[in-house]
Amino acid sequence: MPQPVGEPDLSRPEYYLNRELTWLNFNFRVLHEAADSRVPLLERLKFLAIVGSNLDEFFMKRIGGLKQQVKAGITERTVDGRTPEQQIAECCELVRKLEARQLATAVELLAELAAVGVKVVDWSDLEEEERTQLRKHYLRNIYPLVTPQATDPAHPFPFISNLSLNLLVTLRYKNDEHLSLARVKVPLGAAIARFARVGETEMWIPLESVMANNLDLLFPGMKVEACEVFRVTRNAIYDVDEDTADDLLELIEAGLRKRRLAPIVRLQVAEGFDPARLHMLSHELGLQDRDVFENSGLLGWRDLHELHELARPDVKDAPHHPAQHPDLLTDRPVFDVIRDDGPLLLHHPYQAFDTSVQRFIHQASRDPQVHAIKMTLYRMEPGSGIIEDLVHAARQGKQVTVVIELKARFDEAANIRWANALSAHGIHVTYGVLGLKTHCKLILVVRQDHDGLRRYAHVGTGNYHAGTARLYCDHGILTCDAAIGADLTELFNYLTTGYSPARRYRKLLVAPKHLRRALLERIERETRLHSEENPGRLQFQMNALEDPDVTRALYVAAAKGVSVDLIVRDGCRIRPGIPGLSENIRVISIVGRFLQHSRIYYFRNGGAEEYYIGSADCMGRNLGARVEALVPVEDPALRAELRRVLNFQLADQRCAWRMAADGSYEQRRPPPQRETSTFESMIAWAHAREFEGARLRNRRASSGLPGLEGSG
């Protein structure tokens, strides 16, 4: 790595890591959890499945997008100096290394699971009685769903759906040497699992193994010469011209139909696939050699999630029970607590989502003093209680407005259903601003208090999804700050009209118009205020750091002496530790029990500290192509909470990986007695706060102090 002389030339590509490659390297860290003996066995299996799911998404989104660029003739280099073609080649090479390690990890892990009674087996491992039972199960429950498709001049090569698992069967009549081919799709879905239980045991067999060994049911009287397994991945990127759209809902529905027919970007085949048939298959699917990935293990590792759900507490993490927020251990309405006691900071999954955010919406829907509810929805869970509350509010005559992001990747169909359902109940549903994704997480409630209308708000870092709120690390603030309420009114007016006159936000930092500039100005301010007597400090937590402008600004700040701590979950462009340039930058990635998903921005600001939380990562798409919002955390007690959260992560000695100047990561591995996990520290802190809150509440109640209960 060359050392900069004088002012660094920040246009040099070697100062920037590649977005796609750093994201793939994140998956090596996830895979490490699958190999770590400190992690319970079924949790290790979960991490193995996560890597498989991540790679599927990587090919659908990132490789698919890069291939579109190549097809369009784009040769422009990224800030790290790579063309789209170069990125595809390097990514495919790294994926093969990742999959090799994934297979080695799986072999070892499955052997350890077998030792405790959980076995993944093949048909050849079964006794005759077990085979007979499975054949009966297959014939009764699955066989009616199976449709073989021949490939010959009368039957063109069939359509292969995205992420489908398939058998390519080579067969002939017994007295005929002519070979025929048939494709058989493994009918996986909501009702059909990938793994079938063998009798009443804890042995599990992949469904394709059962089907491959009972092909006589599909092809009676024929000779099966070979049965080979393959799986395809299609591009999930589809182009829609919103500027010409008369109906955005119809446009997204058309895009989903288009995605189903999108080009295939990856072919996975089981080891030992016949070369001639593989060549034929690749040709039919329009693929090059580099698009073919041969695996000797399972195709579709993501399906191992099924086995993680086994009721084996002896080989899983202890169940996680979120704590209650100490200020919500009361029967008082949430609005009274916020108004009288001040804003609340929420930490999920350590604090319960249902008794905080869901309670806020539930009470708003039923409070006769509430006149309006406005909310953004990006991802929702099936059967969400939040939807029921919004519908109830509309039935009670409240003004309910919901901004639904129809283009939330892989949730488009679900969001279309939510939009139609909400509209049917008279709720004002809008789809945001043309050309921009609505990614901010906002709720605005307008309530008639005793002294006039007051706006109550929730601004968060994560989706309003109760399921992921138990798995993702997110933060949110409940507040009735007048300036924040006014800003949210302006922002919702923008989202529901698309009109962008000179909107002024007093406290919120909003993308795409203001946020990038606001971050750059604050980083530059930190650089300007820095001195030996009053040192500058920046601490950012985010999912990814990709934006070149922010990366350059952080380099400049660090070169001037500002201390920069970055907690970045996956992709990160910046290189720490370059002599004379980034020696003051430290980058860590935390991988463990829960998914790091929060965004926190801290500026020391010469001692007048600023903290922000919100929905935006430092990525080009977040800052320039999405509606995002960061909200300041100004209450001293809440700032102290965020300081503690950041300190827990920076001090993590169990789940933290530190990046070196070459982009590689090394996990901190202190002696066992010194191991400290962010996740365990946060769990303990949340429960200690709940206990102390309950103790204080009981003490006040026993002494007859007022203000704990009632309507306020």
Please give the positions annotated as active site: 439
Do 238 and 252 form a contact (C-beta atoms < 8 A)?
no
For 51-99, the DSSP string reads HHHHHHHHIIIIIHHHHHHHHTT--PPPTTS--HHHHHHHHHHHHHHHH
Q: At what angle do helices 412-424 and 248-260 cross, to 10 degrees?
A: 150
Structure tokens at 395: 């039935």
Distance CA 470, CA 587 (A): 26
At 339, the amino acid letter reads R
540: nearest Cα among 584, 601, 631, 597: 601
At 536, the amino acid letter reads G
Gyration radius (Cα) of the chain, Å: 28
Distance CA 638, CA 681 (A): 18
Give the chain's count of helices (H) and strands (E): 19, 27
What is the helix (H) or strand (E) element at residue 487, kind and residue range? Answer: helix 482-497
End-to-end CA distance of the chain: 64
What is the helix (H) or strand (E) element at residue 34, kind and residue range? Answer: helix 19-35
Cα within 13 Å of Cα(354), Cβ side: 8
Helix, strand or coil, per DSSP, at residue 667 = strand
147: nearest Cα among 201, 219, 97: 219
Distance CA 273, CA 255 (A): 34
Do 518 and 639 form a contact (C-beta atoms < 8 A)?
no
Do 90 and 24 form a contact (C-beta atoms < 8 A)?
no
